[in-house]
């Protein structure tokens, strides 16, 4: 059945003719304007995952610590003592590319709501950011405004930003990435799900007023490529962290008093997605009266009310006898609350205005029956990303390369950014940014007085350039990198969340990248026995100049039994031995050094043994927990030389390292600056490091000493005073007006 010309706007809303005909078949008639708007959002890529859902079925989602997995607002794991940690990462890429301050700010607000929607109090935020090269005025502008937006929202609401990552690469010039991760803590019995329950129960909307801001926002922006000159600022939501703070406290009090049956935040697609998903999970129906919704702007049409993405709103199901108590709590927190509907046993989502039905759809048709597409996969026959601009003198040797790497945009100190965030609010932060490879947060005390205080650790990671070289192995590396970061503070991984940022999946080479990356994510999680508790997919991240690097961002949460024993990355005591641990096989392929030299991306990365990587991670973790190591730092961007320099700078003390026998030329550069998974630089008493050799490969390098990093080589000794290295690293971002 072909739609009449009058309904051709379905194409403008992102629906294909075949999808429209499927909607007609589901309804048994043509949809009206309200229904068409709702279907267009629920069947968008952002809400339906229609190009990725089949792939995501590969991911392992079971684990001994899992309490709440995919399908809820956030996943949750058991961290002992009757406590749960809920966490999730999501993207706000397209809104941030259009309006970076509000895009980033509302991205933080949205992920906070995901966490307190399951009953957990948010205790930390991390962010993963990607921009074009810093010599670009656009990238400088996006960085400055996105960082300001993150700081504004998190600082205002009182949730610390404790970690994250920022990379600068040409393919993100038009389409920046802003991924935000949040963690929250709750007692097991306070966790709540979002499924509607109990026909006759009341649907209550509480929080901010509903306006036209954000109509067609995240759900539309994230389901299409950005074009030249697109003016989509009206589609970007406006956030109010102070309203969200009241909403947070109100929600948690309602849960503490046992007044709610279920709870759901309003994110992309607003009332449409929140109501239909609650109904779908409960296998029930809902009647929503849009004329009862408190509005910020008069005269809004029913479809506008249903698709508005105004921020700081929650939807809950309440037993009729508890309605007055719910409204009283909301009034206490100065949070507008209104009964806007009822739970039914009809299996349908009905939209009513003035008693008239203006929309009537089967819940299953909206939520579960969107077509899922098989991707056409094809590995690109030729490079799709241009080589980066060369930044180094071709004749530069190791003496010049180390300061150049430390001062480069991807390796320079992030302190100019973190200075804009409050990382100490709530007084839980044990390891602040720059102290360790993972953020560490103390858990509430449990058990008898005087017992050790446990903690959680969290890391977020993902190298788009390495995934562009090899989508499978690059993604495996990202997962093991997160686990290595946790090991360096003594934490055992409990669960993983992810945000898959890719280009247009309808293009075969992008579909191949996505498919290979998901396969790598699944295999790495199984190798580590870490379940995926939830996540997000962000596709169509590309502009007229091409796609972004394929960027799977991985967030991992772990537990350590004693907060006081959390590891640090900085060298601590003169005379300590310095050693290298792990099955590290360095390669310059896809490395930071290769980028600075302007080399094109290689086709593939070296293979690594997952079992050997896991063994090294567990050995380092156990040694940190036992107090045998005074420092531990995994080798990442820039290779061993950069890792050694970072350990010296973090501890304020130098090291003398013996690399005689390492050769010269390209061989020496590979050993010093090559990258790959599985390597750790550690320090501590020599007997303790000798004992570690029984559990992992250990190579003694030298000792902690002096006020310089000294490398003894076959041709002599290279020496870098710490003051020189610190100036190179600390000035790398400050030199740029965006963050200086």
Annotated catalytic residues are: 46, 92
- Which has the closest alpha carbon to 641: 720, 728, 723? 720
CB of 24 closer than 8 Å to CB of 30 = yes
245 CB-contact burial (10 Å; exposed 0-12 / middle 13-18 / buried 19+): middle
CB of 188 closer than 8 Å to CB of 484 = no
CB of 202 closer than 8 Å to CB of 318 = yes
CB of 472 closer than 8 Å to CB of 111 = no
Q: What length does the chain have?
A: 740
- Name residues whose C-beta falls within 8 Å of residue 308's C-beta, 6 or more positions apart in sequence: 210, 211, 212, 213, 214, 215, 270, 271, 300
- Name residues whose C-beta falls within 8 Å of residue 374's C-beta, 6 or more positions apart in sequence: 54
- Name residues whose C-beta falls within 8 Å of residue 352's C-beta, 6 or more positions apart in sequence: 287, 288, 289, 290, 291, 358
CB of 579 closer than 8 Å to CB of 631 = no
667 CB-contact burial (10 Å; exposed 0-12 / middle 13-18 / buried 19+): exposed
Angle between helices 398-407 and 665-673 (to 10 degrees): 30
For 548-636, where are the E strands, in sequence order?
551-560, 577-581, 631-634
Query: What is the C-alpha to C-alpha distance for residues 275 and 736, in angstroms, rounded to an integer?
Result: 46
722 phi and psi angles, rounded to 5 deg = -60, -35
Q: Is 445 helix (H, G, I), strand (E, B) or coil?
A: coil
DSSP 9-35: HHHHTT--HHHHHHHHHHHTS---HHH
Beta bridge mates, 190: none
CB of 436 closer than 8 Å to CB of 569 = yes
- Which has the closest alpha carbon to 541: 133, 58, 46, 70? 46
DSSP 393-409: -TT--HHHHHHHHHHST
Secondary structure letter of residue 295 according to DSSP: B
Q: Record the tokens describing residue 411, joined without a space.
A: 């390796």
Q: What angle do CA 714, 719, 720 make, to 5 degrees?
A: 145
């Amino acid at each position: 059945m072909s739609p009449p010309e009058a309904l051709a706007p379905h194409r403008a809303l992102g629906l294909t003719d075949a999808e429209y005909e499927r909607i007609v078949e589901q309804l048994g008639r043509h949809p009206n304007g309200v229904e068409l708007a709702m279907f267009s959002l629920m069947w968008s890529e952002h809400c339906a995952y229609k190009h990725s859902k089949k792939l995501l079925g590969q991911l392992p989602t079971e684990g001994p610590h899992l309490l709440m997995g995919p399908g809820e607002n956030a996943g949750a794991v058991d961290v002992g003592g009757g406590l749960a940690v809920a966490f999730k990462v999501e993207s706000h890429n397209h809104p941030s590319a259009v309006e970076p301050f509000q895009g980033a700010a509302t991205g933080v607000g949205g992920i906070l709501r995901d966490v307190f929607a399951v009953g957990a109090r948010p205790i930390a935020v991390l962010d993963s950011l990607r921009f074009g090269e810093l010599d670009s005025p656009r990238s400088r502008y996006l960085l400055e405004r996105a960082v300001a937006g993150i700081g504004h929202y998190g600082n205002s609401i009182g949730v610390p930003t404790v970690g994250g990552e920022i990379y600068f690469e040409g393919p993100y010039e038009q389409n920046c990435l802003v991924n935000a991760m949040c963690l929250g803590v709750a007692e097991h019995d306070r966790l709540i799900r979002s499924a509607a329950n109990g026909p006759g129960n009341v649907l209550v909307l509480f929080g901010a007023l509903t306006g036209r801001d954000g109509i067609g926002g995240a759900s539309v922006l994230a389901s299409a490529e950005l074009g030249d000159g697109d003016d989509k600022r009206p589609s970007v939501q406006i956030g109010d962290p102070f309203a969200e703070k009241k909403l947070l406290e109100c929600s948690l009090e309602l849960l503490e008093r046992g007044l709610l049956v279920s709870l759901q935040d309003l994110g992309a697609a607003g009332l449409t997605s929140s109501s239909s998903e609650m109904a779908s999970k409960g296998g029930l129906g809902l009647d929503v009266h849009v004329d009862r919704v408190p509005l910020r702007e008069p005269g809004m049409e029913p479809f506008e009310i249903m698709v508005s993405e105004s921020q700081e709103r929650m939807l809950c199901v309440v037993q009729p006898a508890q309605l007055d108590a719910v409204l009283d709590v909301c009034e206490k927190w100065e949070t507008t609350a209104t009964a806007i509907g009822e739970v039914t046993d009809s299996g349908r989502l009905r939209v009513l205005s003035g008693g008239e039905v203006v929309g009537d759809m089967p819940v299953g048709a909206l939520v579960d029956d969107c077509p899922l597409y098989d991707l056409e996969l094809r590995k690109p026959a030729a490079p799709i990303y241009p080589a980066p601009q060369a930044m180094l003198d071709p004749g530069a040797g190791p003496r010049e390369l180390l300061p150049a790497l430390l001062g480069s945009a991807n390796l320079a100190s992030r302190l100019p950014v973190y200075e804009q965030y409050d990382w100490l609010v709530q007084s839980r932060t044990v390891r602040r940014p720059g102290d360790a490879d993972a953020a560490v947060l103390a858990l509430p005390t449990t058990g008898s007085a005087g017992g050790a205080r446990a903690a959680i650790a969290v890391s977020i990671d993902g190298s788009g350039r390495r995934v562009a070289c090899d989508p499978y192995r690059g993604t495996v590396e990202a997962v093991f990198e997160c686990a290595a970061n946790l090991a360096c503070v003594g934490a055992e991984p409990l669960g993983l969340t992810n945000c898959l940022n890719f280009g247009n999946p309808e293009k075969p080479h992008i579909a191949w990248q996505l498919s290979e990356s998901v396969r790598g994510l699944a295999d790495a999680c199984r190798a580590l026995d870490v379940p995926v508790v939830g996540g997000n997919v962000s596709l169509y991240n590309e502009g007229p100049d091409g796609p972004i690097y394929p960027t799977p961002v991985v967030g991992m949460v772990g537990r350590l039994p004693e907060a006081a024993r959390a590891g640090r990355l900085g060298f601590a005591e003169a005379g300590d031995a310095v050693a290298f641990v792990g099955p590290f096989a360095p390669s310059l392929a896809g490395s930071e050094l290769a980028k600075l030299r302007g080399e094109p991306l290689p086709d593939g990365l070296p293979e690594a043994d997952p079992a050997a990587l896991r063994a090294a991670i567990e050995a380092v973790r156990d040694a940190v927990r036992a107090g045998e190591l005074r420092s531990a730092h995994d080798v990442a961007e820039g290779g061993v030389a950069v890792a050694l320099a970072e350990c010296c700078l973090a501890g304020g003390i130098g090291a003398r390292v013996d690399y005689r026998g390492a050769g010269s030329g390209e061989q020496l550069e590979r050993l010093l600056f090559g990258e790959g998974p599985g390597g750790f630089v550690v320090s501590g008493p020599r007997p303790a490091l000798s004992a570690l050799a029984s559990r992992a490969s250990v190579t003694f390098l030298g000792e902690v000493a002096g006020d310089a990093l000294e490398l003894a080589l076959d041709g002599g000794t290279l020496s870098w005073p710490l003051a020189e290295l610190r100036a190179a690293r600390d000035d790398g971002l400050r030199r740029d007006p965006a963050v200086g």
